[in-house]
Amino acid sequence: MASKPSIRFMQGNEAVVEGALVAGLRFYGGYPITPSSEIAEMLSQRLPRVGGVFIQMEDEIASMASIIGASIGGAKAATATSGPGFSLMQENLGFAAMAEVPCVVITVQRAGPSTGQPTAPAQGDVMQARWGTHGDHPIIALCPSTVRECFDLTIRAFNLAEKYRSPVILLMDEVIGHVREKVEIPAEDDIDIIDRAQATVPPEWYHPYEDGESLVPPLVPFGEGYRYHMTGLYHDISGFPTERPDEIAPWFDRVFAKIDENLNDLLDFTEEETEDAEIVLVAYGCSARSARHAMRLARERGKAVGLIKLRTIWPFADTAIARLARRARLLVVPEMNRGQLVLEVQRAAAGRAKVIGVNRTDGQMITPAQILEALET
């Protein structure tokens, strides 16, 4: 990483690799799968050069398990996959949520279900990212729509994982993973890197799940003299299994509160031309690229159209959508699926504005023309 800004021409998956290394990634366990394979290929060469470890696991189940173990051991850890592999990771992803293990899961979405079209783009894993595991828990999921955002949001994913002691999903798609763009990489000194909190008490006083003012208890790596238990069962503040309601309920309250009480830090979106917009496009990922072009064409034709581009998918930007719904008559949600995030937009709009989706599932990108046609509704 240069000490001054540099200009690069790079692929989205390559930008993810660069961002991960800057963020401090030191362990990668994964299994190759199109369209994310470049991430594994590049890290297999780059990680050993910085003292990190790369392991090709036997499958995606083991990949997710390996990064959990590496993180508990103190390393910043990640894996990358696509839809079918993401499905296989869900049980261990639930363990990471229960045990509050910081890690990053990069999923470069492709058309499905099943093996689908390995080289074709889609956005069909949005709800899987939120609800793929069983049980109740919050999740953080970020979504880039440019190569520069791949770099920035990868760093942000690691920072949020460490700060909130949570798995974080970088929800990409094939177009963003494989598109190449000119990118300005900032100087290393201008990039904020967050590491997990350290324990401030002696080993005999340490509790890995203790309620505290920050809502995020420090996670001390195994092997550093702090003895504690870690399990996928409901647990007490020491990590040992419990069936006591007076210990289970506080855990739920704290885990949700650490997300719900920090939405100002977690939510990330940009707005363009929304001040006077009668119609607002709500977009993310590669669809946001078409939506932005459609907005500009509509403005040239005299239509008051704006755009909100979501870089944080989960938690959802309820307040921002509700605000826009109070001002606009129509919210249009372009997605490369049969309609997933549009349901959240409808919920947040709460009838204040009409909400419609523009959908495509044939492995081709939504075009600005398709979006413009929907604006005539």
Q: In order of start, what are the domains of the chain with their CATH numbers?
A: 6-190 (3.40.50.970), 268-374 (3.40.50.920)
Judge residue 91's burial from the number of C-beta atoms within 10 Å of its C-beta, 0-12 exposed, 13-18 middle, 19 or more buried. middle
Q: What is the pTM for the complete model shown?
A: 0.96
Q: Quick one: pLDDT at residue 157?
A: 98
List pLDDT tens digits, range 21-67: 999 999 999 999 999 999 999 999 999 999 999 999 999 999 999 99
Q: Quick one: pLDDT at residue 3?
A: 73
3-state SS class at 217? coil
Q: Quick one: pLDDT at residue 212?
A: 79
Which residue type is seen at 91?
A: E
Q: Quick one: pLDDT at residue 340?
A: 97
Please enumerate in sequence order all residues whose Cβ is within 8 A of that of 131, keeping only pairs 6 or more positions apart, or say none.
Answer: none
Q: Quick one: pLDDT at residue 213?
A: 79
Q: Quick one: pLDDT at residue 188?
A: 87
Q: Quick one: pLDDT at residue 206?
A: 95
Distance CA 92, CA 24 (A): 23
Distance CA 163, CA 140 (A): 12
Q: Quick one: pLDDT at residue 4?
A: 85
List pLDDT tens digits, range 8-25: 999 999 999 999 999 999
Q: How many CA atoms lie within 13 A of 234 on its CB side?
A: 15
How many distinct helices (H) and strands (E) make up the chain?
14, 15
Q: Quick one: pLDDT at residue 203?
A: 94
Please enumerate in sequence order all residues whose Cβ is within 8 A of that of 223, keeping only pairs 6 or more positions apart, or say none.
Answer: 73, 74
Distance CA 279, CA 259 (A): 30
Residues of the chain where predicted confidence (pLDDT) is lower than 70? 1-2
Q: Quick one: pLDDT at residue 211?
A: 85
Instruction: Say if residues 20 and 193 touch (Cβ distance below 8 Å).
Output: no
Q: Quick one: pLDDT at residue 350?
A: 97
Task: Quote the radius of gyration of the chain (alpha carbons, Å).
Answer: 21
